[in-house]
A and B are shown apart, each in its own frame.
Chain A
Amino acid sequence: AQSVTQPDIHITVSEGASLELRCNYSYGATPYLFWYVQSPGQGLQLLLKYFSGDTLVQGIKGFEAEFKRSQSSFNLRKPSVHWSDAAEYFCAVGMKTSYDKVIFGPGTSLSVIP
């Protein structure tokens, strides 16, 4: 069965520092992959997604993610973090054969030190 792991429960970075959030998945075929962000008290917002093609995906708010098939990873990166990036980040994996089979990871909470 497919699964998603986010090894870091909580990460703290200083404003202006670079950020990398890790995501690993388990799935027998090529998945489609998402990163969502959830600000406190809010719903989830899509940051970016990978479906096919270029393995480096650009998203909103200056985020990017790289799909590495050999490592079953889809890590999220940002070169310079802003205080407003403090939020919960969720990686998700979907099966191409079924729109409803989207599995979410447990989330990584990001704190930003001014």
Chain B
Amino acid sequence: NAGVTQTPKFQVLKTGQSMTLQCAQDMNHEYMSWYRQDPGMGLRLIHYSVGAGITDQGEVPNGYNVSRSTTEDFPLRLLSAAPSQTSVYFCATERLGRIGGTQYFGPGTRLTVL
């Protein structure tokens, strides 16, 4: 039982490049989300999904795309990276149906955009 896994752990991009951050979970949780963490700002929600085929925007969605074709995977795509997207990205999952439930976080991906 691996929980929530994220790849890669580290990534350096040049401005304008594209890439996909991977998130996978083996807990059969319906809810998956992406956060970015910036110094002094805590975590901010980028996008989330309540199940396969269903996604929605969070607080800071601009510049990011997501899709959810399976329960297990929730990739985050940067179509044209910008220096403002330098951050640490966390994927989280939660079992739905329980208000106030626990989110389980992956280890994070540290992204630098030059």
Residue numbers of A with Cβ under 8 A of B are: 4, 9, 32, 36, 41-46, 49, 51, 90, 92, 94, 96, 99-100, 102-107
Contact in complex: A4, B42 (CB < 8 Å): yes
Contact in complex: B100, A96 (CB < 8 Å): yes
Given A43-B90, A49-B100, A100-B48, verify A106-B42 contact (CB < 8 Å): yes
Contact in complex: A102, B99 (CB < 8 Å): no
Contact in complex: B105, A107 (CB < 8 Å): no
Contact in complex: A100, B90 (CB < 8 Å): no
Residue numbers of B with Cβ under 8 A of A are: 4, 31, 33, 35, 40-45, 48, 56, 58, 90, 92, 94, 96, 99-103, 105-108
Contact residues in A for B44 (Cβ distance below 8 Å): 104
9 more A-B contacts (CB under 8 A) besides A36-B105, A106-B41?
A9-B40, A43-B90, A43-B106, A43-B108, A99-B94, A100-B33, A100-B56, A104-B42, A104-B43
Contact in complex: B45, A102 (CB < 8 Å): yes
Contact in complex: A99, B101 (CB < 8 Å): yes
> Residue on B with the closest CB to A4?
B42
Q: How far is the CB of B97 from chain A (nearest CB, A)?
A: 9
